[in-house]
Structure 1
């Protein structure tokens, strides 16, 4: 579990630096420069420590550098605000692969209700696309407070979707097991 939180912290560190500095100073150049700097330091630090970074880490860092550069050139924070949308769209595309979720559920779930797991995988893809579109819509406003509220909503939506899925899977499996015993 500690490893998961370490990876999540690393993934969101540059974004957190950007938003904290932007909220505190209202200076898009300072906030963006710091975020890009943190992303570059993360790569250098991983290299020094001998850690390999995965594709998603490199993609996230590349997005910070590219969108950060555009933000600096235009002095417009909306480009940095839109970064999570690109992530949502990329993950949504990956989630369109039939059965992608089967390897992430316990064997009992995969064996008992594979069709529901596949359907849930497509529902997750739809959620990612919807959240990505919402992120772009909110980013276009340029209002950081609204963006932070929306980002909190996206996190809550994912937690709620996981909770609904968990309860639904438990209910469906229990029903199937009762029917098999009868």
Structure 2
């Protein structure tokens, strides 16, 4: 439970702009309103981190860039199809960033990194795969099921992320506990041995 609470705060904070955008779309606020609100929140998150002198995480920059791109496209073109395709581009960018080893280390307590760092790296690639799958699914829904897209974008991204997050935390916790019981603190066995 401690690991879950430690990780959930930064994850929600990093994605807050996108979460606000998606939730507002899901409740029918409209694309312009959702985009403006998401942009304000994403700018506030990055501004808050900069004001505190903290390094801005990659997902925070991506959240800000994605809502700014949606805001510009929506306000300049008025074409909702661009906004519908935009998550595909964002998911591809996020998935590519997630292919970098160690990006998940921010979401785990530093003292646990030596114990389950290899598991976190593997989950980093699983997260990337989910982003690539989400990119494809978003494009299919936007092109072939356009009327259902607002419902899809309001539910699927958050549900899939929270679902994978729950599995991720449970698996990391289980493996970490198993390694502690075996006394594997100094010499970790490879994940395949789990």
Q: TM-score range by the shorter chain?
A: 0.5 to 0.7
Pairwise CA distance, 1:37: 6.2
**Alpha-carbon distance in structure 2 between the residues aligned to 1:103 and 1:4:** 9
**Alpha-carbon distance in structure 2 between the residues aligned to 1:61 and 1:152:** 17
Report the TM-score when normalising by structure 1: 0.68
Pairwise CA distance, 1:163: 0.8
Pairwise CA distance, 1:57: 5.4
Q: Which ranges of structure 2 fall in alignment gaps of 5 or more residues?
A: 1-7, 52-59, 185-194
Q: Which ranges of structure 1 fall in alignment gaps of 5 or more residues?
A: 23-30
Instruction: Tell me whether 1:174 sits opposite 2:194 in the alignment.
Output: no
* Map of 1:124 onto structure 2: 127
Instruction: Tell me whether 1:163 sits opposite 2:156 in the alignment.
Output: no
Instruction: Tell me whether 1:136 sits opposite 2:139 in the alignment.
Output: yes
Pairwise CA distance, 1:16: 5.8
**Alpha-carbon distance in structure 2 between the residues aligned to 1:81 and 1:2:** 28
**Alpha-carbon distance in structure 2 between the residues aligned to 1:142 and 1:124:** 25
* Map of 2:96 onto structure 1: 93
Of structures 1 and 2, the one scoring higher in RCO (CA 8 A, sep 6+) is 2
The answer to whether the 8 Å contact 2:17/2:64 transfers is no
Pairwise CA distance, 1:3: 9.5
Question: Who wins on radius of gyration, i.e. which is larger?
Answer: 1
Aligned length: 164
Pairwise CA distance, 1:154: 2.4
**Alpha-carbon distance in structure 2 between the residues aligned to 1:68 and 1:124:** 28
Q: What SS is found at the alignment partner of 1:97? A: coil
**1:113-137 deviation line (CA, Å, top 9, x unaligned):** 2211110111111111111111111
Determine which of 86, 109, 113 is the counterpart of 1:110. Answer: 113
* Map of 2:66 onto structure 1: 60
Q: What SS is found at the alignment partner of 2:100? A: coil
Aligned CA distance change for structure 1 residues 116 and 2 (closer, same or farther; 3 Å): closer
Report the TM-score when normalising by structure 2: 0.64
Please provide the CA RMSD for this pair: 3.6
The answer to whether the 8 Å contact 1:109/1:169 transfers is no
The answer to whether the 8 Å contact 1:138/1:146 transfers is yes
